[in-house]
Structure 1
């Protein structure tokens, strides 16, 4: 017999986002390039034969466009092999239907820059397409950016195999340098619209230290030709006033992800991700429909995610951190979300993936001679209490889930309870109900969990939480 759990607690206050949230109208690019002069890449030597390395020709077109005060960089139909490109103020890069940029498979074609990767500031290859220290830039069109990342996936798996033998799982993601597809860094009023992105070598779209960015109508397909490691969809990293909408993502890690720095280095930088709207998007394969973390050091707050769909993701709504991260995830509104065939619809953990999250130097290494990013990873967070993350005021409403494996898995810490979560109009059908541990003062209205194995939701070390 299927056990049906339901709870109906009438609350005096709404669990959905106040209407309107005062900041919602401020998200996204506030300006777009208006210059209409067309700069054709073929006029600067690009041939589009799918074989010739075209980086210099395309960059020359971009530079000429910027030198004239801006305009539109275009391509005739064809395939263009290229390394790192750097866009500039008032330039629109337009990829029309029939145009495909092919990422070079040689790491030498991606010059190293100062950036942040997975929460740590370090030297790392530039992305395939870069918008760095710029304003008023757009990448638009119905064309395709195929990063051809398979070669970088293979190099990662080979290195990880060797590093795990040495007790170095925690650093392999940083040592195995793989180019992102699109990087928006320290920039404002940036628009990404309509393009298709495939086979990212690493993260697909990384929005870092930026504000007023719009990602609209992006199609991301990273599982073509295999399953690339860490091929996130859209990562919003210590950035503010961001709008993501109408996107369709199928990747092999987190589809929509909010981040804010890792451990000592993230606490040093201390920049939040805040004022973010993600709406009208769908996800296929991937680690999580929408993920907060695991890099939480600078805090993540003021997020509205609405009208999202997931089919087959490992997790739906995911909050993850570690006991060395610190930071607070708070004032989050997740509304009108449907999921089918996900592993866990709601997963919360403060001790995520210990072999990756915690850095321990094996015997045989001398710390003084290590690379700077190793030292940053090994730098202890002191006092240790600064590394304890906090999750509070997380609001989930109008969530419908079918065919999940576990209904909910939420675990805080004895020193950091999951506080003031609110669930309203939630219907979950799962193989087993799941459990909640170290939580406090949850508010539930019209919450239903149907467990095929008749298990109840386990409640441990918690107060003010009942099913």
Structure 2
């Protein structure tokens, strides 16, 4: 499908039209910030869906709640003056079958869930506060004091159960628009196994109560025809992250993320502006991201995978981007974060008695060649970057060559130019890389490269 055609097909194709109002306060919600209002909110949603749809709304106030599930035909409207407060008791988030960090397993439901539904919207100018700090602190304690000393860094993210803020799973025609989302415990917005989803004009702030690991802004996970636009994101990890499963389990599911448009966004302090990976097993393809602005981030444009993950990342177009104050403008790694990416069982454990998700993570990819990822056909145009530490950090492997990266009309000012390792068919067209030491790119293990830079 030509790019001009598929880019017109992304996003929700419809949204609920019924306007009958169902006030949660009429179903017993208190909105005092202390009383748990989960049952009342869910009762209003169920009544609305039972009548064929409409608008579920709130009187001004702060509503403490655990997981709620939005249903077909419902607009969950969170107006200005309304604050949804996530419960800090994990018991208020029932376990569901889902995918977390690339593998299918049981995990606490999100704060707001849209699961296996068609034609749903969550909109408004109100605030959804995940109140995630206790979950983050629990994670850091487990990781630093128990898991890392035992060589178990690879599994702590799966053992420390933290609820996501908003989950769209197995759905079609979903719109999420206008909200402020703060203080996520884990992923903020997770779009999983879904199609025709619009994410519009969200303000995500996940650093207001400290930094947390894995606090992505918006994750598109084995989903298609997704539109993300006009979002303003600040968070501890990657801001827009495209994923498709990891390792043997991701290869088993084998569902791509494809046909994604990201446009007109702002990214503030965090991990990466836009990332493909690290979960790439099902493939990531047909992506257009344009008119993006980022500052104060670990990286700008990220591609990451591992030699057990597999999958192909291809036909990625990144255009009209301004970046300031990042670690690396272009960051590519196919052997990313080995202590997390590779699962090895330490001595003293018996495989038969392990939790099911440990066994999934430890399952070997056979033959091993299936686990070798491929990143190719990447187009970067009209990019300007200043205040970077490195212009390019691109590391392929002999078995996983980075192929056919095309940079056109790119201007980068950085401390160092960086390096490109194990690549083929890269092309620079009107590219300027200015560095403090006036050094060129370090190019190793590459062939068929045309990296002539523009002289200013």
Indicate yes or no: 2:226 matched with 1:242.
yes
Matches within 5 A, 1:60-459: 60-161=43-144, 162-459=146-443
Offset of residue 47 of structure 1: 1.1
Q: Separation in 1 of the partners of 2:380 and 2:47? A: 49
**What TM-score, normalized by structure 2, do the two folds share?**
0.98
Offset of residue 48 of structure 1: 0.6
Offset of residue 229 of structure 1: 1.5
Find the counterpart in structure 2 of residue 41 from structure 1.
Answer: 24
Q: 1:42-94: per-residue Cα shift (whole Å, max 9, x none)?
A: 10001110100000000000000000000000000000000000000000000
Q: Separation in 2 of the partners of 1:231 and 1:463? A: 38
Find the counterpart in structure 1 of residue 446 from structure 2.
Answer: 462
Q: Separation in 1 of the partners of 2:347 and 2:356? A: 19
Q: Separation in 2 of the partners of 1:341 and 1:411? A: 22
State the SS of the aligned residue for 1:312: strand
Q: Separation in 2 of the partners of 1:139 and 1:39? A: 14
Offset of residue 281 of structure 1: 0.4
Between the two structures, name the one with larger relative contact order (CA 8 Å, sep ≥ 6).
1
Q: Separation in 2 of the partners of 1:416 and 1:46? A: 55
CA contact (8 A) 1:259 1:293 kept: yes
Find the counterpart in structure 2 of residue 6 from structure 1.
Answer: none
Q: Separation in 2 of the partners of 1:314 and 1:453? A: 22
**What TM-score, normalized by structure 1, do the two folds share?**
0.96
Offset of residue 443 of structure 1: 1.6
Q: 1:158-209: per-residue Cα shift (whole Å, max 9, x none)?
A: 1101100111000000000000000000000000000000000000000000
Q: 1:292-317: per-residue Cα shift (whole Å, max 9, x none)?
A: 00000000000000000100110000
State the SS of the aligned residue for 1:287: strand
5+ residue gaps, structure 2: none
Q: Separation in 2 of the partners of 1:336 and 1:263? A: 33
Q: Separation in 2 of the partners of 1:228 and 1:68? A: 41
State the SS of the aligned residue for 2:332: strand
Q: Separation in 1 of the partners of 2:374 and 2:209? A: 39
Q: Separation in 1 of the partners of 2:427 and 2:324? A: 25
CA contact (8 A) 1:321 1:349 kept: yes
Offset of residue 455 of structure 1: 1.8
Q: Separation in 1 of the partners of 2:4 and 2:368? A: 35
How many residues align? The count is 450
Offset of residue 225 of structure 1: 1.3
CA contact (8 A) 1:199 1:228 kept: no
Q: Separation in 2 of the partners of 1:74 and 1:370? A: 45
Q: Separation in 1 of the partners of 2:346 and 2:404? A: 40
Offset of residue 322 of structure 1: 0.3
5+ residue gaps, structure 1: 1-16
Q: Which residue, 1, 5, 26 being the options, matches 2:9? A: 26
State the SS of the aligned residue for 1:122: strand
Q: Separation in 1 of the partners of 2:190 and 2:304? A: 19
CA contact (8 A) 1:28 1:213 kept: yes
State the SS of the aligned residue for 2:5: coil
Q: Separation in 1 of the partners of 2:212 and 2:65? A: 20
Q: Separation in 1 of the partners of 2:90 and 2:17? A: 34
Q: Separation in 2 of the partners of 1:158 and 1:193? A: 35
Q: Separation in 2 of the partners of 1:256 and 1:453? A: 33
Offset of residue 411 of structure 1: 1.1
